[in-house]
Structure 1
Amino acid sequence: MARELGQMKSTAKASRWVVSDMSVADREEIASLFERVFHQSMSTSLWDWKYAAGRGSAVVARYNGKIVAHYGGIKRTLLNKGQEQESVQCVDTMVDPTERGSLSRHGPYFLVAQAFLDRYVGYGREYEFGFGFPNSRVMRLGEKVGIQAQVDEIVEPVWDSNAVSPFSGAVLDLSVDADVLEVDSQWSKMSACFGESIIGFRDSSYLRYRYAMNPSYEYELLLISSVDKSDNPGVLVLRQEGARILMLDIVGECKYFPALIQHARSMLKSRGCTELYTWVTESHFSLLDHEVKRVDRPDVRIPTSVCTNGPEPEELRGRWWLTAGDAEFK
């Protein structure tokens, strides 16, 4: 049985909800809640990809023994001003539709969020700070109940197909040593460009977990090279969505970003697509601002926790490099 959280024990028992750590035994019930909230299924393989083998943890709230709220987090290794650091990406924050009227400091959302953040996030805890991808409604709720503050926002640059590339693309196989070495080399070059930023690792281990092992989607991992293989500008991670291609990740030296985007655009017509798009934090959009057709705003905010003793929002604001691939649901 999941252990009841000590610091939330009196608050939870005084209310109608009981807060506890998630356990493997809760998997099916959490999947049912996920489907009621997001109208999508959560397979056993997806739950395992997120939470198994110590990758993730979560807090749940029960009413009459039934799980009605959930706040999860998965580990993410970052570079923060060039220093390696473990962080947590908050995921699967959900409240049963029957409990939506209880979105207050005494409701189930606040209880699970406060319990999770108090347990895992802040100075002296497992993670100094975390992040996530809530929409504006959830962001406002977090601000209202005093658990989070906004430090950035996602914008969605869109490109057309009017591009020609002098490069070619080869599918990467991360079970092949040469491809692993190439990805790690590209990540080393990229990380040097983000000395003052906060950026999640994009080495071969991460790309293998994030894309090759993901049970939800099929992705294309491409090494972009000159025809004679003498120059490798970098790596693209793509996924086709109907008439659009989503660029989830771009890995390489920043000066080659325009060439990599140009190559992705050049693929559109042959795929029957009209647009390439990605997500990127607004603070770092200038790195991708190359022949952009338009910039949409998908209503996605980047928060940080303020309910425990940790870095001030001002220390983190405007320093995140996050793209579509950092959002585990894309």
Structure 2
Amino acid sequence: MTGISQQLVWSSAERTLGEKLIHVEFVGLESNHLYRLVTTEARSYSLRIPRLEPDRLTPFWQYLQDTFGLRYGTQLSNVGPLLRAIDDDGILQTPRPVATTTVGAKSAYIFTWVDGTSWESGEFPNTRQVHERLGRYLAHLHQRRYQTFGTFSEHRLDPTEFVVRTNASLQNTIARFWTHRPDLGEWFDRHAKTMNPDVFSGHLSPIMPDFGANQFVYRDGALAGVVDLDSYVIGPRELELAGVELCLTRPQDFRRGYEAILSLPRFETFRSYCRFWILVCEAAGDPDLEKFLTSNTYFD
């Protein structure tokens, strides 16, 4: 159940597109209520309706607001610079923005549809081709260097502020959601508070902090497109790479693709800190801290 009627989606989309629809399909619910639209001319679109209220964010989206200044619900209207960067590299397809509209009282965004098979697991398919292309895709984006961090529309934050802003958000999230886990507060006091901010100040690029295989689509066994654009920000590549490492099934193939363009950084300098952030802001259930920090450690 989405709480949004299909009839309302149908009428809003037809009014905005100026085209008749023959099919409206609810696809899923993650960052957005996601629908597929098909017109009488056989054109396909996606319609995305942000699912959260700005004053009731999840820990992850609250972190992006606290640390990067991302205003939830508006980010899909500012993806132009990201799409141009991905297009320039020519490795993956992306949905193209078509229109901004409303469905009832909610903002909604219509994009072109990228054909491909979705992948529900967070881990990437166990193939060389997928991992090498993924490595090349990330390295090409990481070649785009910035001096400051933030959102694509406004990235003016000094990199020395990254750890301070992250720690403030983490401390608030632990106090709100993890009071039953004193081990997290203890780890924060011992390690997060003493994290060297210089680790994250040297390489700012376009990154997807909630990285996972289910943000992409696949065709003929290959990585074909990136379809979830909501969380992209300008930030330290280390934050993204720490999440990527957790999702790999063929890490050496990923390394081969990435290092054909850029050298990987030293994961031991940032892995634990970034994984602690992932656990606090994104982890489901009640994971074991030590296991979460040390599993799937493929890179030095």
TM category (shorter chain) comes to under 0.3
TM-score, normalising length: structure 2? 0.27
Higher helix content, 1 or 2: 2
Higher strand content, 1 or 2: 1
TM-score, normalising length: structure 1? 0.26
Who wins on radius of gyration, i.e. which is larger?
A: 1
